[in-house]
Structure 1
Amino acid sequence: MYRTHNNGELRAENNNTKVTLSGWVQKIRDKGFMVWVDLRDRYGITQLIFDEERTPKEVMDKASQLGREFVIQVTGTVIERESKNPNIPTGDIEILVSEVIVLNTSLTPPFTIEDNTDGGEDLRMKYRYLDLRRKPVRNNLVFRHKVTMAVRNYLSEKDFVEVETPYLIKSTPEGARDFVVPSRMNEGQFYALPQSPQTFKQLLMVGGMDKYFQIVKCFRDEDLRADRQPEFTQIDCEMAFVEQEDILNTFEGLTKHLLKEINGVDVEKFPRMTYDEAMRRYGNDKPDIRFGMEFGELNDVAQHKDFKVFNSAELVVGIAIPGGNQYSRKEIDKLIDWVKRPQIGALGMVYVKCNEDGSYKSSVDKFYDQEDLAKWAEATGAQAGDLICVLSGEANKTRAQLSALRMEMAERLELRKVDEFAPLWVIDFPLLEWDEETNRYHAMHHPFTSPKPGQMELLKTNPGAVKANAYDLVLNGNEIGGGSIRIHDKEVQSKMFDYLGFTPEEAIAQFGFLMDAFQYGAPPHGGIAFGLDRLVAILGGQETIRDFIAFPKNNAGRDVMIDAPAPIDEQQLNELNLNITIKD
């Protein structure tokens, strides 16, 4: 056998035991007459000792030829370590080696395989198989495994059945761009990789599965960022004979279970907030409620004077920065420059310092007196010592700009604590949103989302006012899950396609199979999908998902390790009937 123990399990009680260990050489300290080697595997590190007085000469010779990341097998005796290391579990012992076998040699790695490495992100992604040997990365993958097992165990105990759905499906026009796969056997036709198993899980409900889940890969050909990959993993769930309350209660339970099981945290409160309220109070539909700085709308108390910037604005709104009164003029000017960056897009910012003596000093003292500014402070909840920051303009853009400022200040003030968890349900989303490019309404979630009860007729007269029977679960300012109660009636689904601009022929071509299924006794149903990558990162105290994915892609959607995507040869192109000129 290659090993009797792993490198993390031997302790002082194993003294005088003969053992065989295998692993990678982490570090070598060669004194000539004595050599120490740190041997590493997934489970930990064990120190080996080669001593010319106690170790056979041929074994000493082999020890002097070892290099970093050599794969070796050693046999020896567990002895008490003279210089104990309290920082590792095996720090009280070492192995007096009597035999060593080199299982494989190694080139010198391009970066140090230590907790704190000298390798940059691009280099480590190119050699990801080496990066996986580092403890932080390995621990992240083990952490992900624990989360997925906790999810599976919880849902299985609640009578959910895990069912696999196809990866080669039909392209649909809604949502993000599809990744498409040419079919060799069907010339000129293409499969698409699923953006989600949405229609299949609805068909499973028609099929009577009642409770379904799947931890599933999904694919979207869209622009990337730190928390988005072209392929990602969902915890996809669906239930039959349920209303919104049933879904919320079930998946509150799952979230509580994960927080307790993984983080040891008890969270009882899952407040609910409408989409409109979230936008009004925080400027976005996934607010971080671990801290304050709620929006204060100032139209009524700021548009009565001769200040044209505010008077011409659709919305005047502000937040109170805790302790911001101490900021110098130079620091405030930098803050103004920050909101004027192209990424934020504000034209400027008005500020008010709330002095400790109860007076106010603002950048618009020419237009507003102390009584006016006191009303601003009341509207924003500002206290003595705070700084009120005010933006104005078109309502939606201004809310988004102030929301970005709120989150930036929370980061600077260290208010977003990774060991604090604040979940929130956001409900009553708009069913439709207007798209300026196509000049028509699109489904805010997807075209299978049901309107709130009693609002279907509103689609004829005021489609923008219709609320969806939809819900998002937000955790610490991140959407970790979203879902809806689905349409389960063919006629209602046909009307929805009509309102979304599908012709009857287009609706049948794209979704005829689903509408046909609805004719055979489709039950009321609904569900939710969690973004597993993001959920794991947040539970692990981070917001960047790449470190929790074994083989992630970079910001350009490339796998730099295997150099993908890549051209294919002409023979394959011809077999697929693709007339593409290959670039050199």
Structure 2
Amino acid sequence: MRSHYCGDVNESLVGQTVTVAGWMHRRRDHGGVIFIDLRDREGLVQVVCNPEDAESFAVAEKVRSEFVLQIEGEVKPRPAGSENTDLRSGKIELIAKRVEILNSSETPPFPLNEQAEVNEDIRLRHRYIDLRRPEMLQKLRFRSMITRQLRQYLDAKGFLDIETPILTKATPEGARDYLVPSRTHQGEFFALPQSPQLFKQLLMVAGMDRYYQVVRCFRDEDLRADRQPEFTQLDIETSFVEEEELMNLMEEMIRDLFANVLEQALPKPFPRMSYAEAMDRFGSDKPDLRIPLELVEVSDLMKAVDFKVFSGPASDERGRVAALRVPGGNELSRKEIDDYTKYVGIYGAKGLAYIKINDISAGREGLQSPILKFLPDDVVEAILQRTGAQTGDLVFFGADKATIVNEALGALRVKLGHDLNMVEHGWKPLWVVEFPMFEWDDKTQRWYALHHPFTAPRVEDESLLETDPGRCLSRAYDMVLNGTELGGGSMRIHKTELQQKVFRMLGISDEEAAEKFGFLLQALKYGCPPHGGLAFGLDRLAMLMTGSASIRDVMAFPKTQSAACLLTDAPGAVSDEQLKELNIRLRKLPGAEA
């Protein structure tokens, strides 16, 4: 139906007759001549319909926005001075010989031929129209380039692209599973995979050696801008490697991706930072190194002060008091400080103490703060010295459980960096390493795996599993870019005895382990090689590389933040017949009519 894409018609075709097809992007009537901008996935071409060609001109008069057209015409140079340098086809125009309407269109729910702010719900409800917009088309094209480049790299390195099951078994750890009832096994359920973790480990047992997969994963969890109930990851596993070799390989892959797709060079090598250092300096295990602000530990200075808000957490082994110096922050108004106080409250902080440094040379008299009366001169001087505070600065304080302080001040650090235009331009990747194996949950009074229960502990820390699990470090590693976790992975446990020991540490009895993971424990007994892997969030990677605010902008058909599909109205009710066939009876929801 066409000889060329619209965007591919250029000056090399001058004098030739071509056929193009696409959507009517814009129509303009100028002095009896009709101009049509025809659009397809490759771009726009300007079509000129002259009244001398009565048949094509009559059809051109009928076309409206988003009509589907097929146009045959001669390629000619545009008149001097009318070239459009923003278009690939901007030096030519197509003189229509034949215009055919292949399909008409109702008026779109939002304009595609102008930059207009459109409610996201409307865009998602009519996603097939939203995706026609050049900026959305370009993002999906870019995502395709990313995937192709990653595949080419891994293929060249000897990795095998192997599919793993979508219908699998529910797991007791991690986020909630999406469950799928089985018709043939009444009363039993499949689960959609949160990741192919166990299957890729089994592939290593099977001797596949190097595996990868661009795979769909599912997690029934609360959503954010960078989370979806179903998402895509690049899943990788390899045998007979140590973490250094694997990390170097993955780092090279990401450098290769940025060089080939964005034509930008990332540093070599990526810096390394321990989890403990990242939390101490940035309050986050995925620090954005483009922001120069850092947390400063002041717990030791606050232990003896006559102010329980500070001395309490400072004396608690699980507490922390940290300071955050904001250069030039003295100019923040009281309202702005109150707004930041409300902001950290989202993360559990009960307040946000501060000191304004009006004149560093005037000592205490040059400071302004409601907490100064609680702090001795030597403590104030030590705080100023340790934080490096100067005239015109402001120092914020967080005092609470370490987890709350880290989360609150870590988030405040990022917000301040953006609000005060402190974010450096460019890409700042790093590896975060030496994660704890476990984290303690006060509510359930038990240990949980910080990554997942198949992560191997450091060899020198294996003895701590039973004696001091809080000090046990893992062989895990996360790749972080500009404050976003691109991918996380670890070396895996490859011996049955060690895997059983970790299960017991997590409160998983031998009986439960046999029921849930018996196939894995059995496989480990048959010569499982040392192995490790990593999974990259493909949606997040595309979001970062395209400069999008949300992963929804780089997914063809995303869900909303309530995990609903506005396009198809999913999830939806199913018939009583379907439920009966699955032997399922629905409970009445609270408030439902009897």
TM over 0.5: yes
Contact 2:56/2:99, CA 8 A, preserved across alignment:
yes
For residue 335 of structure 1, what is the aligned residue in structure 2?
Answer: 340
User: Residue deviations 1:501-527, cap 9 Å, x none?
Assistant: 122111111111111111111111111
Matching residue within 572, 578, 581 for 1:572: 578
Structure-to-structure mapping, 1:231-270, within 5 angstroms: 231-266=230-265, 267-270=267-270
Equivalent position SS for 1:579: coil
For residue 282 of structure 2, what is the aligned residue in structure 1?
Answer: 282
> For the residues of structure 2 that align with 1:570 and 1:528, how far apart are their CA atoms?
43
For residue 65 of structure 1, what is the aligned residue in structure 2?
Answer: 62
Query: Residue type matched to 1:263 in 2?
Result: L
> For the residues of structure 2 that align with 1:435 and 1:265, how far apart are their CA atoms?
42
**CA displacement at 1:480 relative to structure 2:** 1.0
> For the residues of structure 2 that align with 1:332 and 1:554, how far apart are their CA atoms?
32
Structure-to-structure mapping, 1:367-378, within 5 angstroms: 367-368=374-375, 372-378=379-385
In terms of mean alpha carbon deviation, does 84-93 or 531-540 score higher?
84-93
For residue 400 of structure 1, what is the aligned residue in structure 2?
Answer: 407
User: Residue deviations 1:282-329, cap 9 Å, x none?
Assistant: 111111112221111112334444334322233221111122123344
**CA displacement at 1:542 relative to structure 2:** 3.2
User: Residue deviations 1:548-580, cap 9 Å, x none?
Assistant: 001000000011001101111111111111122
User: Residue deviations 1:363-407, cap 9 Å, x none?
Assistant: 033344766434223322334432211121222211211111101
Structure-to-structure mapping, 1:132-211, within 5 angstroms: 132-211=131-210
Q: Give the paired residue count.
A: 579
> For the residues of structure 2 that align with 1:93 and 1:10, how far apart are their CA atoms?
8
Query: Residue type matched to 1:432 in 2?
Result: F
1:273 aligns with 2:294: no
For residue 446 of structure 2, what is the aligned residue in structure 1?
Answer: 440
> For the residues of structure 1 that align with 2:36 and 2:348, how far apart are their CA atoms?
53
> For the residues of structure 2 that align with 1:343 and 1:368, how far apart are their CA atoms?
26
**CA displacement at 1:142 relative to structure 2:** 0.7
For residue 434 of structure 2, what is the aligned residue in structure 1?
Answer: 428
1:226 aligns with 2:225: yes
User: Residue deviations 1:209-251, cap 9 Å, x none?
Assistant: 1111111000001111111000011111111111121221111
> For the residues of structure 2 that align with 1:310 and 1:118, how far apart are their CA atoms?
47
For residue 505 of structure 1, what is the aligned residue in structure 2?
Answer: 511
In terms of mean alpha carbon deviation, does 353-362 or 120-129 score higher?
353-362
Contact 2:347/2:407, CA 8 A, preserved across alignment:
no
Contact 1:217/1:231, CA 8 A, preserved across alignment:
yes
Matching residue within 387, 392, 395 for 1:388: 395
TM-aligned CA distance change 1:338 to 1:510, over 3 Å: closer
For residue 78 of structure 2, what is the aligned residue in structure 1?
Answer: 81
Query: Residue type matched to 2:368 in 1?
Result: S
Query: Residue type matched to 1:447 in 2?
Result: P
**CA displacement at 1:358 relative to structure 2:** 7.1
Structure-to-structure mapping, 1:419-498, within 5 angstroms: 420-498=426-504
For residue 366 of structure 1, what is the aligned residue in structure 2?
Answer: 373
Contact 2:349/2:400, CA 8 A, preserved across alignment:
no
TM-aligned CA distance change 1:547 to 1:330, over 3 Å: closer
**CA displacement at 1:348 relative to structure 2:** 3.1
> For the residues of structure 2 that align with 1:141 and 1:352, how far apart are their CA atoms?
48
1:51 aligns with 2:55: no
> For the residues of structure 2 that align with 1:369 and 1:280, how far apart are their CA atoms?
25
Query: Residue type matched to 2:323 in 1?
Result: G
Percent sequence identity over aligned pairs? 44
Equivalent position SS for 1:501: coil
TM-aligned CA distance change 1:441 to 1:568, over 3 Å: same
Contact 1:426/1:472, CA 8 A, preserved across alignment:
yes
1:411 aligns with 2:428: no
Contact 1:205/1:238, CA 8 A, preserved across alignment:
yes
Contact 1:171/1:180, CA 8 A, preserved across alignment:
yes
Query: Residue type matched to 1:50 in 2?
Result: C
Query: Residue type matched to 2:394 in 1?
Result: L
Contact 1:52/1:60, CA 8 A, preserved across alignment:
yes
Contact 2:240/2:529, CA 8 A, preserved across alignment:
yes
> For the residues of structure 2 that align with 1:268 and 1:227, how far apart are their CA atoms?
27
TM-aligned CA distance change 1:509 to 1:369, over 3 Å: closer
Structure-to-structure mapping, 1:507-546, within 5 angstroms: 507-546=513-552
> For the residues of structure 1 that align with 2:118 and 2:332, how far apart are their CA atoms?
38
> For the residues of structure 1 that align with 2:530 and 2:84, how far apart are their CA atoms?
61
**CA displacement at 1:356 relative to structure 2:** 7.0
Matching residue within 313, 325, 331 for 1:326: 331
Contact 2:59/2:99, CA 8 A, preserved across alignment:
yes
Cα RMSD after superposing both structures? 2.0
TM-aligned CA distance change 1:99 to 1:173, over 3 Å: same
Contact 1:344/1:404, CA 8 A, preserved across alignment:
no
For residue 310 of structure 1, what is the aligned residue in structure 2?
Answer: 310
Query: Residue type matched to 1:311 in 2?
Result: S
**CA displacement at 1:463 relative to structure 2:** 1.5
> For the residues of structure 2 that align with 1:499 and 1:3, how far apart are their CA atoms?
65
In terms of mean alpha carbon deviation, does 218-227 or 367-376 score higher?
367-376
> For the residues of structure 2 that align with 1:260 and 1:186, how far apart are their CA atoms?
51
Query: Residue type matched to 2:469 in 1?
Result: P
Query: Residue type matched to 2:406 in 1?
Result: R
1:345 aligns with 2:352: no
Contact 1:22/1:71, CA 8 A, preserved across alignment:
yes
Contact 1:320/1:389, CA 8 A, preserved across alignment:
yes
Equivalent position SS for 2:111: coil
Contact 1:325/1:355, CA 8 A, preserved across alignment:
no
> For the residues of structure 1 that align with 2:518 and 2:576, how far apart are their CA atoms?
37
> For the residues of structure 1 that align with 2:114 and 2:511, how far apart are their CA atoms?
59
Contact 1:114/1:135, CA 8 A, preserved across alignment:
no
**CA displacement at 1:86 relative to structure 2:** 2.4
**CA displacement at 1:136 relative to structure 2:** 0.8
> For the residues of structure 2 that align with 1:414 and 1:460, how far apart are their CA atoms?
48
> For the residues of structure 2 that align with 1:578 and 1:251, how far apart are their CA atoms?
46
User: Residue deviations 1:54-75, cap 9 Å, x none?
Assistant: x2x1221111111111101011
**CA displacement at 1:346 relative to structure 2:** 3.0
> For the residues of structure 2 that align with 1:390 and 1:550, how far apart are their CA atoms?
43
Query: Residue type matched to 2:23 in 1?
Result: W
Query: Residue type matched to 1:437 in 2?
Result: K
Query: Residue type matched to 2:313 in 1?
Result: A
Structure 1 unaligned regions, length at least 5: none
> For the residues of structure 2 that align with 1:430 and 1:305, how far apart are their CA atoms?
32
Query: Residue type matched to 1:545 in 2?
Result: I
> For the residues of structure 2 that align with 1:385 and 1:350, how far apart are their CA atoms?
13
